[in-house]
């Protein structure tokens, strides 16, 4: 989809040709004598358009307005959350009309966060998955114009938002693909396809190399599958070689049956989404290639299937991880932490500034936080705060959960250094405590996205989260580095 940021006042907007004109109306303001301002005034007077965000009025072929459809959408105080929900609702409601060109007009003051929210919401609401349909009905929305008073100061935020859409949609695409169209090999190929972007490199390891590295925990999960595992190493170099990278580690289970500790049949199809952590890492690299910030980033993706088979691991099996720690696999369905722990050990060689893993790790996190906020765990307060703030700023929120050592009690066992599960209580935290054992060499954060990476039910599909959170965090690192050395030239493309 093509986005455009344009100077557009209320009066001009009336003459703007479009299949739909969505006017974001704040609680106060947007006054005037022109056609749109009069309609807004009338709608306010009648009480049909309250001053609270959420209300919408749609009309067809309104007189004196060039657009075919007009939607007045209340955005209250005009904060980014209100803009996001108003644009989502408007574009969703317009879907049946299959508009090709939509204009979203800020009738009040527009700020960077609002413009970003409008772009991401328009993309989210018009996204369609087509890859495995025989007669695809592709997205009809071709062009989205964002109309504001003064575009110049908003242009950087707009450009970032448009690049973010690319990343989010890349993550959605791979998240949505069924397991037989997103094998570990295919996922690694998707990563490799990103290496054509500037400053990006991709290396893919197979079973032999992974065995040579001693990744016994990762190999154990993969051994029950006919599909060979892959270990993806993505590198983005936007800063000098010596600058410590931010390392992202994404869980890439392309299908999770649970293994011998088999999952129930109901909704098991949703376990095709168990590689959404990996997809979010791919999405971030897609956006990095677009924006080219002056930072270094490494992406690590351990990817395999978790299958039930004659060769599969059994409850009670003990394996040796790359770190040397032995692990008793008491539940083969707690496989995410087994592939992640070896990737975390591997991360050390990059002498990272921080390591962040992203994983659809536990059902317990869905119980704790639902689909609104991802679970955040960290051994480093500054990192936790930066990630939390990035989530707030990008409307891709997370919430920090604790890592007290008492939570690790249940992971003790007589038969190995650690067990891969504790009891049912605090399941998201005990999973994080398991991972923490492999992170002593660097500041570390873990995002449990089990509740936020996809939606169930009628709107079933990948969300592309937490690409916005991660990208906002990473761009913040660039700003921090720039502030530390003001002479350091940005590697960012001139706009
Ligand atoms: N991929 C699942 C986590 C999951 C479950 C995400 C449901 C979203 C919805 C993970 O591999 C898993 O199976 N975790 C187990 C851990 C348990 C065995 C300790 C879980 O959450 O039930
Ligand atoms: Mn599992
Ligand atoms: Zn899983």
Which ligand 1 atom is the nearest neighbour of the CA of 424?
19
Q: Is residue 261 a part of any domain in this protein?
A: yes
CA atoms 314, 249, 392, 274: torsion sign = negative
Q: Distance, CA 458 to ligand 2 centroid (Å)?
A: 24
Q: Is residue 159 a part of any domain in this protein?
A: no
Question: The CATH number of the domain where 186 resides is what?
Answer: 3.40.630.10
CA separation for the pair 333, 211 (Å, rounded):
22
CA atoms within 13 A on the CB side of 288: 35
Give the mutation target among 362, 370, 431, 446 for probing the ligand 1 site: most ligand atoms within 8 A of CB. 362
- The model carries a pTM of 0.97
Structural domain range at position 181: 171-484
Same domain, 279 and 315: yes
Radius of gyration of the chain (CA): 24
Q: Is residue 491 a part of any domain in this protein?
A: no
Q: Is the CB of 448 under 6 A from ligand 1?
A: no
- In the chain, count H helices and then E strands: 14, 20
CA nearest to 304, candidates 347, 341, 335, 265 = 335
Question: The CATH number of the domain where 132 resides is what?
Answer: 3.40.220.10
Q: How many structural domains compose the chain?
A: 2
| Candidate list 337, 373, 465, 477, residue with the active-site label | 337
User: Count of residues for the chain?
Assistant: 495
Query: What confidence tens digit (pLDDT) does each residue in 347-359 have?
Result: 999 999 999 999 9
Same domain, 91 and 197: no
Q: Is residue 157 a part of any domain in this protein?
A: no
Same domain, 127 and 180: no
Name every residue whose Cβ is closer than 8 Å to that of residue 492 and which is 6 or more positions away in sequence: 291, 292, 293, 294, 478
Confidence category of residue 487, pLDDT binned at 50, 70, 90: low
Q: Distance, CA 258 to ligand 2 centroid (Å)?
A: 5
Q: Is the CB of 363 under 6 A from ligand 1?
A: yes
Beta bridge partners of 461: 455
Q: Distance, CA 274 to ligand 3 centroid (Å)?
A: 5
Query: What confidence tens digit (pLDDT) does each residue in 376-435 have?
Result: 999 999 999 999 999 999 999 999 999 999 999 999 999 999 999 999 999 999 999 999
Active site residue 412: no
Q: Whose CA is nearest to atom 6 of ligand 1?
A: 450
Q: What mean pLDDT comes out for the span 221-229?
A: 98
Q: Is residue 165 a part of any domain in this protein?
A: no
Same domain, 106 and 176: no
Which ligand 1 atom is the nearest neighbour of the CA of 431?
19
Confidence category of residue 493, pLDDT binned at 50, 70, 90: very low
Q: Whose CA is nearest to atom 13 of ligand 1?
A: 333
CA nearest to 256, candidates 275, 280, 277, 232 = 275
- Around Cβ 454, how many Cβ atoms within 10 Å? 25
Query: What confidence tens digit (pLDDT) does each residue in 77-115 have?
Result: 999 999 999 999 999 999 999 999 999 999 999 999 999
pLDDT at 45 over 90: no
The residue that leads in pLDDT, 51 or 273, is 273
Same domain, 225 and 371: yes
Which DSSP letter does residue 490 get?
Answer: P
Query: What confidence tens digit (pLDDT) does each residue in 163-187 have?
Result: 999 999 999 999 999 999 999 999 9
Q: Distance, CA 259 to ligand 3 centroid (Å)?
A: 10
Can you spell out the DSSP letters for 336-364?
HHHHHHHHHHHHGGG--SEEEEEE---HH
Q: Is the CB of 432 under 6 A from ligand 1?
A: no
- Least distant ligand from the CA of 363: 1
Same domain, 145 and 175: no
Q: Is residue 469 a part of any domain in this protein?
A: yes
Q: What mean pLDDT comes out for the span 485-493?
A: 56
Query: What confidence tens digit (pLDDT) does each residue in 107-156 have?
Result: 999 999 999 999 999 999 999 999 999 999 999 999 999 999 999 999 99
Torsion of CA 85, 86, 87, 89, to 10 degrees: 80
CA separation for the pair 423, 367 (Å, rounded):
15
Which ligand 1 atom is the nearest neighbour of the CA of 335?
11
Q: Is residue 255 a part of any domain in this protein?
A: yes
Q: Is the CB of 364 under 6 A from ligand 1?
A: yes
Confidence category of residue 47, pLDDT binned at 50, 70, 90: confident
Q: Distance, CA 271 to ligand 3 centroid (Å)?
A: 7
The residue that leads in pLDDT, 181 or 480, is 181
Q: Whose CA is nearest to atom 16 of ligand 1?
A: 334
Same domain, 239 and 124: no
- Around Cβ 63, how many Cβ atoms within 10 Å? 7
Q: Whose CA is nearest to atom 8 of ligand 1?
A: 450
CA nearest to 225, candidates 291, 340, 313 = 313
Q: Is the CB of 252 under 6 A from ligand 1?
A: no
Which DSSP letter does residue 372 get?
Answer: T
- Around Cβ 488, how many Cβ atoms within 10 Å? 14
Torsion of CA 176, 178, 183, 187, to 10 degrees: -10
Beta bridge partners of 203: 233
Q: Is the CB of 329 under 6 A from ligand 1?
A: no
Give the 3-state secondary structure of residue 32.
Answer: coil
Q: Is residue 267 a part of any domain in this protein?
A: yes
Q: Is the CB of 333 under 6 A from ligand 1?
A: yes
Same domain, 140 and 220: no
Distances (CA, A) of 460 to 1, 87, 255, 275, 284: 22, 20, 16, 16, 22
Average pLDDT over the chain, rounded to an integer: 96
């Amino acid at each position: 989809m093509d986005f455009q940021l344009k100077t557009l006042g209320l009066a001009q907007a009336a003459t703007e040709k479009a299949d739909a004109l969505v006017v974001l109306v704040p609680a106060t303001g947007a006054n005037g004598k022109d056609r749109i301002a009069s309609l807004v005034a009338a709608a306010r007077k009648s009480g049909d358009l309250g001053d609270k965000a959420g209300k919408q009025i749609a009309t067809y072929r309104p007189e004196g307005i060039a657009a075919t459809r007009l939607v007045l959408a209340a955005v209250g105080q005009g904060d980014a959350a209100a803009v996001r929900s108003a644009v989502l609702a408007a574009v969703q409601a317009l879907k049946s009309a299959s508009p090709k060109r939509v204009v979203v007009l800020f009738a009040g003051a527009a700020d960077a966060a609002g413009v970003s929210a409008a772009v991401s919401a328009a993309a989210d609401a018009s996204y369609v998955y087509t890859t495995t349909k025989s007669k695809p009905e592709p997205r009809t929305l071709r062009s989205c114009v964002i109309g504001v008073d003064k575009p110049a100061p908003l242009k950087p935020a707009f450009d970032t938002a448009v690049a973010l859409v690319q990343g989010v949609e890349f993550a959605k695409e791979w998240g949505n693909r069924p397991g037989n169209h997103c094998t570990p090999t295919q996922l690694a190929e998707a990563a490799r396809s990103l290496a054509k972007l500037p400053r990006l490199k991709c290396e893919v390891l197979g079973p032999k190399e992974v065995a040579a590295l001693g990744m016994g925990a990762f190999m154990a999960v993969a051994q029950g599958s006919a599909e060979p595992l892959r270990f993806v190493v993505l590198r983005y170099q936007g800063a000098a070689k010596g600058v410590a990278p931010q390392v992202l580690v994404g869980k890439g289970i392309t299908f999770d049956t649970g293994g011998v500790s088999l999952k129930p049949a109901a909704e098991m199809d949703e376990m095709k989404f168990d590689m959404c952590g990996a997809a979010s890492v791919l999405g971030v690299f897609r956006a990095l290639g677009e924006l080219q910030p002056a930072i270094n980033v490494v992406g690590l993706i351990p990817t395999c299937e978790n299958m039930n088979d004659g060769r599969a691991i059994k409850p009670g099996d003990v394996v040796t991880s790359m770190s040397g720690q032995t692990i008793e696999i008491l539940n083969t369905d707690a496989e995410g932490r087994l592939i992640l722990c070896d990737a975390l050990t591997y991360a050390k060689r990059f002498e990272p500034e921080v390591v962040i893993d992203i994983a659809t790790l536990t059902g317990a996190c869905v119980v704790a936080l639902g689909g609104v906020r991802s679970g955040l765990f960290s051994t480093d307060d500054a990192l936790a705060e930066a990630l939390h703030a990035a989530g707030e700023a990008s409307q891709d929120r997370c919430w920090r959960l604790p890592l007290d050592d008492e939570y690790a009690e249940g992971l003790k066992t007589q038969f190995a250094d650690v067990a891969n599960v504790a009891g049912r209580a605090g399941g998201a935290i005990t999973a994080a405590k398991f991972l923490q054992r492999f992170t002593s060499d660097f500041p570390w954060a873990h995002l449990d996205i089990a509740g936020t990476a996809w939606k169930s039910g009628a709107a079933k599909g990948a969300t592309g989260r937490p690409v916005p959170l991660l990208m906002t965090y990473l761009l913040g690192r660039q700003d921090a580095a720039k502030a530390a050395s003001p002479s350091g030239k940005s590697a960012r493309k001139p706009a």
